[in-house]
Amino acid sequence: MCGAYGFSVKDEREVYDRFGVVNKLADFKPRWNIRIGQMNPVIYTTADGAQIKYMYWSFVPSWAKEKRLQFSTFNARDNRLLESKVYKSAVPGQRCIIPATYFFEPDKKHYPKPPHPWYCFKLNDQKVFSLAGLYNPWTDPKTGEELYTYTIITTEPNAVVGAYHDREPAILDSTQEKQWLNPDLTEPQQILPLLKPYPPEKMESWRVADAAKNPRNDYPEVIKPVSD
């Protein structure tokens, strides 16, 4: 699972230049503790090019009558995408990338029962990276209001993440980003092979304090390393 991550870029121009988006966010701000159910920056493709937009973190399928479902949709397993009535229709043309600077995972390998210590994971060769995702513009049948929603896809873990957890978010490199967002690629065999564990030698991790578990704690100190 991936239920918390950070997007702590302070200069928004870094993001626009990095991803080549053609628009800007009205109220860009760094985030250190992003959680499920919040509105967060997501990049997707339109006829005008790559766009960045605030979307609701938890995928809401078009047929849903309510925004809050009876099951979780903040993550989607890569090996079940084509089997899922929730995600299958989004795979051909509703792919997105979620910009991040790090993500959190609980240590469930050494602590099978809660409370689980939390670990922070980042790439050691780039500051901002991309998490593969799917999005859907859902319309509330009661109000007619449109809400863009998204999920983060997870895959098998590499050795770094796998030391603590049995899943990791699917991370895309710069070449894969272009493929993932390419609207001309619609066949599963063209895009699903991009979802694979990230090279472990390019990733690092450290334990963080329990303050990171509280979604109200959205400040730089939540990623400060602590002793195991």
User: In the prediction, which pLDDT does 163 show?
Assistant: 97
Catalytic one of 105, 120, 168, 177:
105
| Residue 105 annotated to the active site | yes
User: In the prediction, which pLDDT does 82 show?
Assistant: 97
User: In the prediction, which pLDDT does 129 show?
Assistant: 97
CATH number corresponding to 4-223: 3.90.1680.10
Map out the domains of the chain as residue ranges: 4-223
Q: Which residues of 136-171 are buried (b: 16+ CB within 10 A; e: fewer)?
A: bebeeeeeeeeebbbbbbbbbbbebbeebbebbbbb
User: In the prediction, which pLDDT does 228 show?
Assistant: 72
User: In the prediction, which pLDDT does 174 show?
Assistant: 87
User: In the prediction, which pLDDT does 130 show?
Assistant: 98
Q: What is the mean pLDDT for each group of 10 consecutive residues in the chain (228 residues)?
A: 94 94 94 98 96 98 94 97 97 98 96 94 95 98 96 98 97 94 96 97 97 97 92
